[in-house]
Structure 1
Amino acid sequence: MFPIRDHNPSGRTPYVVYTLIILNFIVFLSYQPIMSDDYRLTLFFHDWALLPGEVMEGRRLHGLVTSMFLHGGWMHLLGNMLFLWIFGDNLEDEMGHLGFLLFYLLSGLGADFAQIAADPDSLIPMVGASGAIAGVMGGYLLLFPKARVDILLILIIIFRIFTVPAWVMLGLWFGLQLFNGVASDPEAGGVAHWAHAGGFVIGTVLALPIWLKRGGPRYWKTTHGHPPHPETKYRLTQSSVPRVRRRR
């Protein structure tokens, strides 16, 4: 289950979102030639990724920022950029370009420290923009809880698109991060669930001043929980792949 679009594209051009997406692609392509060389890739990530154990010793602090622009593969990159493209534009519209950029970076740092707190001695490289993007999702949930989001649900051979309120999709996503963070072994590597959960919480907290400035609960009543501009109407919000019946 993952989102494919929302029904409220930004009211103005989200230059920061576009710039972040382009930067992430440029950085990924810059080390694409060594992706098939495990030894060189390991050395590269050791130099530029986030290593919690190193940060706790006061070394390689640059990894707190550079890790946000590294990805472990094409699916990792494309998935993160899809989430940023869907949820980032409306926040940039509300926060302004510089405000959103600061929000994004602070959310990413918050996600870094959440993962460090969960496993402070780890020397497993952590890469990806998902911590910062989780912050974007947390801010989106606070400001636009009822915005309509189309999600693609894949169940073996069944593909369906559903339209759900943002609070359903984002709430489920956050709950899964908490559950997987508790259930998983941090020393085993894999997905940095605590970075996702931490970034989400930090993003929600960072968006609070804007929400309160807009009037808090009154802002929800005024906008009905949607971004404050006209909703886009899509022709097809639900679709499915037809089932093939078994012949007798």
Structure 2
Amino acid sequence: MFPPFIEMPLTYVFSGLIILLSIVGFYYKPLYNKLVYHPFEVFRGNRIHTLFTSVFLHKNWKHLIINIYFYYFMSKDMEYYILEKNYNQIEIKLICLFVLLFSVIASNLIVGWAQRYNLNFTSVGASGAVTAFAGFVALYFPIDHVSRPHKFMPLYYGYDFAFALLIIFAILTAIYRKKSLTNHKIHLTGLLIGFVLAVLFRPVLVNEIIYHLKSRW
């Protein structure tokens, strides 16, 4: 459950930073204000660093615990398991770092664009990175499967879980787009970014899904 540090240093380092800075941010508002993402300012050329630094902050303990739990396991799957079949250790670290940076910055830019005139909107959290990692991990080897099908849900192959996540986040985004304090748009955006990056680093997965769907039907 906890591999040696040398095997997945990025997962441990970023998990530790997220936990540490989030907790400090709960009680030390100058740090929180320094790192929080504020699209109104960013899209006017200010506080550009917050496109990424906001990943290290969370609104409360519940927000932090949920995100760090899923971030650890999704990042672990990527850094410790799935990429080793195609890349060496240096390439794996670079890919994981790129996915983290790109998913956080891109999801903040995309979601923040709609809020660029909203002076009151701010955003924090690792949700974009978490869902991007989840999408990447689920789709990277789409034909890999669990040991046996779920009793109540037709989820067996990797792409089954990927498409299920897509449907869930799309529905949540549509239902709660104006009613919820939770930023579901960044969940959906991060997931789609994870899909795109999985295809970028392993394009053959598209053909694997197509051929496999044909065989299933």
Q: TM-score range by the shorter chain?
A: 0.7 to 0.9
**Greater RCO, 1 or 2 (C-alpha within 8 Å, sep 6+):** 1
Contact 2:132/2:192 (8 A) holds in 1 = yes
Matches within 5 A, 1:104-183: 104-122=100-118, 123-145=120-142, 146-148=144-146, 165-183=157-175
Aligned residue type for 2:9: Y
Q: Please, what is the CA RMSD of the aligned residues?
A: 3.3
Aligned residue type for 2:65: L
Q: Is 1:68 the equivalent of 2:66?
A: no
Identity of aligned residues (%): 24
Distance 2:205 2:35 in 1: 40
Instruction: Please report the TM-score for the alignment, with normalisation by the length of structure 2.
Output: 0.74
Question: Helix, strand or coil: the match of 1:216?
Answer: helix
**Deviation for aligned residue 1:49:** 1.0
**Deviation for aligned residue 1:68:** 0.8
Gaps of 5+ in 1: 35-40, 150-162, 225-248
Alignment length, in residue pairs?
Answer: 193
Structure exhibiting the larger radius of gyration computed from Cα positions: 1
1:17-69 residue CA offsets vs partner (Å, 9 max, x unmatched):
111111111112223434xxxxxx4x654432111222122222111011011
Contact 2:138/2:159 (8 A) holds in 1 = yes
Quick check: which one's strand share is greater? Answer: 1
Gaps of 5+ in 2: 84-90, 148-154, 213-217
| Runs of 4+ more than 6 Å apart | none
Instruction: Please report the TM-score for the alignment, with normalisation by the length of structure 1.
Output: 0.66
Aligned residue type for 1:184: Y
Distance 1:78 1:132 in 2: 15
Aligned residue type for 1:85: Y
Matches within 5 A, 1:189-204: 190-204=181-195
Distance 2:69 2:145 in 1: 17
